[in-house]
């Protein structure tokens, strides 16, 4: 014959199990928070200083290869190469290069810039900035977008006087 007490759950056992479960949950949450502290979610920005290749890689005109990845256009003129920082000087949208019209056009409020990044229409107050460029020991162009030169409204453009904002050809 079966003992009637055998089917009843042991209250001490049940309490112990509940306490251990709560303790395990508490310790797991603590471990997760500690791991999160040592490995925070980080946003990896693209490098601000990067090589884009030798000058011979760039044909005459505006090169869009680095706009998406690094926010610049590389422009080759007969006598020099420079990098335009792809940010409208009105409120910071990214203009589009319109090859057929030979100009940059901002989609936000319509500012237009010529192929050197000089504003000529719309609300933009000044030309787009230029990023620093130099040749490294291997003859590759190094662009540094943490070093920008700008034209203040109605003022003298820094990049017209500073040599490290274009590469003479
Ligand atoms: S942000 Fe480019 S025109 Fe306003």
Residue 108, helix vs strand vs coil: coil
Of 24, 16, 14, 54, nearest in space to 169 by CA: 54
Read off the pLDDT of residues 99-130 as tens digits, 9 standing for 90 and up.
999 999 999 999 999 999 999 999 999 999 99
Q: 120 lies in which domain range?
A: 49-168
Atom of ligand 1 nearest to the CA of 109: 3
H or E stretch covering 69: helix 67-70
pLDDT mean over 17-44: 79
Residues 74, 34 share a domain: no
Q: Tell me if 119 is assigned to some domain.
A: yes
Which residue is associated with the tokens 């192929």?
Answer: 115
Question: Where is average pLDDT lowest: 20-34, 74-88, 95-109?
Answer: 20-34
Number of folded domains that form the chain: 2
Nearest CA to ligand 1 atom 1: 91
pLDDT mean over 139-160: 89
pLDDT at position 31: 82
Of 54, 24, 15, nearest in space to 134 by CA: 54
Q: Tell me if 152 is assigned to some domain.
A: yes
pLDDT at 154 > cutoff 90: no
Query: 134, 162 in Cβ contact below 8 A?
Result: no
* Ligand 1: centre distance to CA 89 (Å): 7
| pTM for the structure as a whole | 0.75
Residues 74, 24 share a domain: no
As given in the structure block, the two tokens for residue 2 are 């079966």
pLDDT at position 54: 97
pLDDT band at 4 (very low <50, low <70, confident <90, very high): low
- Mean pLDDT of the residues in the chain: 89
pLDDT at 38 > cutoff 80: no
Best of 85, 93, 117, 121 to mutate for ligand 1, by most ligand atoms within 8 A of CB?
93
Residues 110, 29 share a domain: no
pLDDT at 10 > cutoff 80: no
Residues 107, 33 share a domain: no
Atom of ligand 1 nearest to the CA of 123: 3
* Ligand 1: centre distance to CA 86 (Å): 12
pLDDT at 98 > cutoff 90: yes
* Ligand 1: centre distance to CA 35 (Å): 43
Residues 155, 83 share a domain: yes
Residues 124, 71 share a domain: yes
Atom of ligand 1 nearest to the CA of 110: 3
H or E stretch covering 84: strand 80-85
């Amino acid at each position: 014959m079966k003992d009637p007490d055998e089917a009843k759950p042991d209250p001490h056992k049940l309490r112990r199990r509940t306490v251990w479960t709560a303790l395990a949950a508490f310790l797991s949450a603590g471990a997760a928070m500690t791991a999160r502290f040592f490995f925070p979610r980080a946003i990896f920005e693209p490098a601000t200083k990067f090589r884009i290749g030798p000058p011979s890689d760039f044909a005459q005109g505006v090169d869009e290869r680095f706009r998406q990845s690094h926010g610049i256009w590389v422009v080759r003129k007969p006598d020099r190469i420079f990098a335009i920082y792809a940010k409208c000087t009105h409120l910071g949208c990214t203009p589009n290069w319109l090859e057929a019209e030979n100009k940059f056009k901002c989609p936000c409020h319509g500012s237009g810039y010529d192929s050197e990044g000089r504003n000529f229409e719309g609300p933009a107050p000044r030309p787009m900035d230029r990023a620093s460029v130099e040749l490294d020991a291997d003859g590759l162009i190094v662009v540094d977008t943490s070093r920008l030169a700008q034209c203040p409204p109605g003022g003298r453009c820094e990049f017209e006087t500073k040599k490290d904002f274009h590469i003479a050809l």
